[in-house]
Amino acid sequence: MKHDSLSSADYERLADVAEKGFDPGGFHTARRGRPSLGASGTSPLLATRVSAQVRDRARVRAAAEGRTMSQVLRDLVEAYANGSDGEPRKARRRR
């Protein structure tokens, strides 16, 4: 049975419903995007650039560990924010 076209009776039923009116407050708005990672309801996006070689090596290691790059990066940023001493090298100053 095909469901991609409406019959005259379907149009009549839809028109009857529209003429009677309906409460739009009963509709639930769907949130767009991925679910929040925190209790605040938002998960800000952090972006950075690395060389293609670093990205590729990180992808290989993450895949070998059964993790996504997002999981790896979230863990690294959280460890840094919590004061972990796992810094790979000292930050370079920009000139």
Inside any domain, residue 70: yes
Asked if residue 31 belongs to a domain, the reply is no
Number of domains in the chain: 1
Which range of residues forms the domain containing residue 81? 48-85
Determine the pLDDT at residue 16: 85
Quote the pLDDT of residue 3: 64
Contact 74, 81 (CB under 8 A): no
Q: Is residue 32 part of a domain?
A: no
Task: Give the Å distances, CA to CA, from 77 to 45, 51, 84.
Answer: 12, 19, 10
In tens, the pLDDT along 46-86 reads 899 999 999 999 999 999 999 999 999 999 999 999 988 65
Among 73, 46, 49, residue whose Cα is nearest residue 62: 73
What does pTM read for this prediction?
0.52
How far apart are alpha carbons 22 and 5 in whole angstroms?
24
- On whether residue 6 sits in a domain, the answer given is no
pLDDT at 91 over 70: no
Model confidence pLDDT, tens digit, residues 14-26: 888 888 877 777 6
